[in-house]
């Protein structure tokens, strides 16, 4: 009995360092942990959870976002608690943390109340992160948590006139990357991270295709391109070879290299696109690498490509994501119709407002991607 009392006091003191006192009955909460966690019960929870996220092949971006949500939640103090710091909380054991984040102790309520000023999409992302953490620790997300509904904004696309100005700006740019990058993004619908990750070995000129390795969700897929991409890649090749000599790694296989001979990154691509936007007289808010991806998809749809084909070309996990482009087409029609009704006469080039692509680019949607 004395030994049991000593163990209970030890557990109470141990938990008390986190600002909460547990009764003797709380010791039994360890039994509610999933059996899979028993072997790591005495290890730091944070390290174990991060390893679990990586085992699930979550991207580093997702892991960082999950970690931020977990940090703000776990250091949220209850009225009777002393405020804890993150370094202390993340070093406690899985067993201790399982007790700390019990969703029925009021911490969840306090944390949710602190999210009130954030955008619905941000709140939903944080709740999703916390739901993963709770599930991993064997807790259920309380039924009373309601994710706010978010108004879905339609992706931005470029009209024909804007595309013409963009291509002209790329041709006249002093940056040798401007032309190949802008054309390839419009021709393939690649994500900017996928573009930056391309190696020369991923390109099959004869097959007019490229292998995207480790795309979103760590999924590989094949994207198709037209002669437009072949032309800009052939023009880029001698520049790439000269930049290889500048870089520290002459064996680097990256397709696109910076002026320092290093693999380009999404941030440098965005800066280049910003300069093109200025040169093309397009607001920066309307032009990004993702805008070109949306323009690619919308152009295919309006020329008759089916959603399944577009889904596979874009690498969407769910066709529900691709379906939003149907709404873009409908919205474009409505805007043009009402604008024409307000005009004294219907302009001959009214269809110039549609986001379209060159004729050769449409062939992508008609080719097999087996």
Q: Indicate which residues carry an active-site annotation.
A: 191, 216, 290, 293, 316, 325
Cβ atoms of 212 and 221 within 8 Å: the answer is yes
CA distance 148 to 76: 21
CA distance 116 to 33: 31
Name residues whose C-beta falls within 8 Å of residue 176's C-beta, 6 or more positions apart in sequence. Answer: 236, 239
181 closest CA partner among 270, 260, 286, 250: 270
Annotate 243-263 with b (16+ C-beta within 10 A) or e (fewer): bbeebeeeebebbbbeeebbb
- Write phi, then psi, for 239 (nearest 5 degrees): -70, -40
DSSP state of 199: B
84 closest CA partner among 152, 17, 154: 17
Classify residue 39 by burial, with Cβ atoms within 10 Å: 0-12, 13-18, 19+: exposed
Is the Cα torsion angle 61, 222, 206, 305 positive or negative in sign?
negative
Helix 178-188 to helix 227-246 angle, to the nearest 10 degrees? 140
Helix 120-136 to helix 45-55 angle, to the nearest 10 degrees? 110
240 closest CA partner among 265, 262, 214, 270: 262
Cβ atoms of 187 and 225 within 8 Å: the answer is yes
CA distance 297 to 332: 14
Q: Which helix (H) or strand (E) holds 221?
A: strand 221-224
Sheet holding 221-224, edge to edge: 203-204, 209-212, 221-224
């Amino acid at each position: 009995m004395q030994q049991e009392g000593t163990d209970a006091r030890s557990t109470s003191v141990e938990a008390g360092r986190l600002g909460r006192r547990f009764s003797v009955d709380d010791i039994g909460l360890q039994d509610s942990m999933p059996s899979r966690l028993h072997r790591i019960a005495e290890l730091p929870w944070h390290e174990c959870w991060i390893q679990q996220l990586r085992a699930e092949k979550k991207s580093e971006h997702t892991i960082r976002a999950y970690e931020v949500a977990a940090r703000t939640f776990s250091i949220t103090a209850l009225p009777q608690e002393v405020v804890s710091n993150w370094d202390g909380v993340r070093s406690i054991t899985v067993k201790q943390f399982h007790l700390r984040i019990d969703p029925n102790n009021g911490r969840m309520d306090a944390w949710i109340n602190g999210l009130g000023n954030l955008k619905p999409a941000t709140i939903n992302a944080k709740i999703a992160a916390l739901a993963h953490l709770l599930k991993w620790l064997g807790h259920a997300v309380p039924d009373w948590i309601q994710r706010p509904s978010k108004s879905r904004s339609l992706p931005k696309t470029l009209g024909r006139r804007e595309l013409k100005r963009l291509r002209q700006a790329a041709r006249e740019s002093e940056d040798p990357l401007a032309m190949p990058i802008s054309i390839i993004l419009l021709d393939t619908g690649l994500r900017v991270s996928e573009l930056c990750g391309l190696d020369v070995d991923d390109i099959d000129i004869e097959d007019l295709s490229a292998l995207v390795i480790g795309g979103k969700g760590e999924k590989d897929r094949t994207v198709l391109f037209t002669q437009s991409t072949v032309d800009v890649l052939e023009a880029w090749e001698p520049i790439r070879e000269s930049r290889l000599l500048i870089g520290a790694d002459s064996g680097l296989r990256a397709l696109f290299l910076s002026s320092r001979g290093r693999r380009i990154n999404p941030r440098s691509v965005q800066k280049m696109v910003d300069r093109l936007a200025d040169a093309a007289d397009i607001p920066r808010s309307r032009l990004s690498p993702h805008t070109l991806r949306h323009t690619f998809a919308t152009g295919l749809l309006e020329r008759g490509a089916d959603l399944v084909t577009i889904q596979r070309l874009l690498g969407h996990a769910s066709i529900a994501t691709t379906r939003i482009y149907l709404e873009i087409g409908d919205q474009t029609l409505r805007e043009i119709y009402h604008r024409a009704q307000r005009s004294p006469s219907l302009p001959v080039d009214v269809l110039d407002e549609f986001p379209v692509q060159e004729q050769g680019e449409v062939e992508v949607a008609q080719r097999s991607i087996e």
